[in-house]
Amino acid sequence: MYKIMTPGPTQVKENVRMARSLECTNPDLDEEFVEFYKETCELISSLLHTKNETLILDGEGILGLEAACASLTEPGDKVLVLDNGIYGKGFADFVSMYGGKPELYTVDDKNPIDTVALEEYLKDNHDYKYATVVHCDTPSGMLNDIGSICPLLKKYGIMTVVDSVSAMFGEEVRVDDYQIDILCGGSQKAVSAPPGLTFVVVSEDAKKAMAERKTPIASFYANLKVFEGYYEAKWFPYTMPISDIYGLRAAFDNIAADKDMLERHAKIGNACRKAVTEAGLKLHLEAGFSNTVTVFDVPGETTAKEILDTMRKEHNIMLAGSFDTLAGQVIRIGHMGSNANVEDMLETLGALDDTLKKLGVSLKADMKEVFQKNM
């Protein structure tokens, strides 16, 4: 097995794996599981600093993103798509497939969204039902300031759908303070459970918009409204993946007990960026660095494939390249969730030092040493 130091999926702790092996009941009929599900959802809400309801859906993180758009979008709705990265732009597809009219607000993809410039735009352009915002655009590692962006959009009467799959629990998220209407997360990033589950946090404004729709939601599975009243009826809209949810609960119990989680991510993220730059490598972004992933440009002396193959075959460590417009252009080191620990980062950066030197890249400093010095 490789040590996976990718920006999701991440390493999974033993207690999470063991929780997934517990004996199953029938989640359709056992009311104790309904209580367990609701308690787990309430734990997630509390960790995200909100009174809003959380729902766990049976599908990878993209299901949450699609379900949010499907549940809010009616034919002809104008939706503002904030685009400074591959995932940001991608929201337009979800809006379009449910009959909405996406309007892209496209800005520099090397820097975070500037709220001053955004407000200038919104003064004359605010006739939108909702806006989509990516917290961490994982292909580039871009971090957008949702704590400023979402209240600004709300000021203009625009609801928000936020993709924080790759940021939450590595970066601070305070749903109520940020006035987020639908927040989407996933199991396999900083939560550090296996892939397969998404969870969404839904505001009262978002529920009201769904209730007042003039047309039915054009999906059953990607549909947040089908969970309405599940607890009172003790009845889920479909059979819940009980073993996955047992594992997810263990992962959230780990997070609840980890009081220094955000501080550790910040320290490791900063030390990793310093290691990369002092070695003479170029960070892909100019600003807006997420503490969950470090992304650097592939040096001219080698290729992304050679770096990834050498790390995997000679050091048993899996890093990630990227895709779409960034395919072959960058290398991504994931330091989120269970990956965000000093021991694994030292091993990873030491292996990366050896790999790059072997591939003919001259380094100005030893990344492992620089990282250790800054921890």
Assigned domain for 6 exists: no
Which pair of structure tokens corresponds to residue 350?
Answer: 């030491």
Half-sphere exposure of residue 102: CA atoms within 13 angstroms, side-chain side:
20
Assigned domain for 2 exists: no
Which pair of structure tokens corresponds to residue 354?
Answer: 């050896």
Contacts 24+ apart (CB under 8 A), 38-47: 38/231, 40/245, 40/248, 40/249, 40/252, 41/199, 43/249, 43/252, 43/253, 43/256, 44/185, 44/199, 44/201, 44/252, 45/175, 45/201, 47/169, 47/252, 47/255, 47/256
The CATH number of the domain holding residue 286 is: 3.90.1150.10
Same domain, 234 and 140: yes
Indicate the residue among 216, 240, 257 that finishes a domain. 257
Same domain, 176 and 212: yes
Which pair of structure tokens corresponds to residue 358?
Answer: 């072997």
CA–CA separation, 272 and 283 (whole Å): 11
Same domain, 249 and 285: no
Same domain, 33 and 141: yes
Taking a C-beta distance cutoff of 8 angstroms, is the pair 321, 295 a contact?
Answer: no
Assigned domain for 7 exists: no
> What pLDDT tens digit does each residue of the chain (375 aa) get?
899 999 999 999 999 999 999 999 999 999 999 999 999 999 999 999 999 999 999 999 999 999 999 999 999 999 999 999 999 999 999 999 999 999 999 999 999 999 999 999 999 999 999 999 999 999 999 999 999 999 999 999 999 999 999 999 999 999 999 999 999 999 999 999 999 999 999 999 999 999 999 999 999 999 999 999 999 999 999 999 999 999 999 999 999 999 999 999 999 999 999 999 999 999 999 999 999 999 999 999 999 999 999 999 999 999 999 999 999 999 999 999 999 999 999 999 999 999 999 999 999 999 999 999 999
Which pair of structure tokens corresponds to residue 287?
Answer: 């600003």
**Max intra-chain CA distance, the chain:** 64
Overall pTM > 0.85? yes
Same domain, 220 and 102: yes
Assigned domain for 88 exists: yes
pLDDT at 1: 84
Same domain, 205 and 268: no
Say what angle helices 342-358 and 261-278 make with each other, to 10 degrees. Answer: 20
CA–CA separation, 232 and 351 (whole Å): 54
Give the start-end residues of each E strand in 135-251.
136-137, 142-143, 159-163, 182-186, 198-202
Residue with tokens 């997420």: 290
CB atoms within 10 A of CB 75: 11
Say what angle helices 115-124 and 146-155 make with each other, to 10 degrees. Answer: 20
Indicate the residue among 230, 257, 284 that finishes a domain. 257
CA–CA separation, 297 and 260 (whole Å): 30
Same domain, 229 and 265: no
Same domain, 186 and 275: no
Taking a C-beta distance cutoff of 8 angstroms, is the pair 168, 314 a contact?
Answer: no
Smallest Cα–Cα separation from 257: which of 10, 51, 13? 13
Assigned domain for 9 exists: no
Same domain, 246 and 276: no
Assigned domain for 343 exists: yes
Instruction: Name the residue range of residue 345's domain.
Output: 261-373
Taking a C-beta distance cutoff of 8 angstroms, is the pair 200, 184 a contact?
Answer: yes
Sign (positive or negative) of CA dihedral 179, 112, 69, 100: positive
Same domain, 315 and 335: yes
CB atoms within 10 A of CB 225: 18
| Residue 202 vs residues 162, 182, 207, 241: alpha-carbon distances, Å | 11, 5, 7, 21
Number of structural domains found in the chain: 2
CB within 8 Å of 39: residues ≥ 6 apart: none
For the CA atoms of the chain, what is the radius of gyration? Answer: 21
The CATH number of the domain holding residue 87 is: 3.40.640.10
pLDDT at 108: 95
Same domain, 85 and 199: yes
CB within 8 Å of 29: residues ≥ 6 apart: none
Same domain, 38 and 84: yes
Assigned domain for 3 exists: no
Assigned domain for 84 exists: yes
Indicate the residue among 257, 286, 317 that finishes a domain. 257
CA–CA separation, 249 and 251 (whole Å): 5
| Residue 60 vs residues 67, 144, 197, 229: alpha-carbon distances, Å | 11, 22, 5, 23
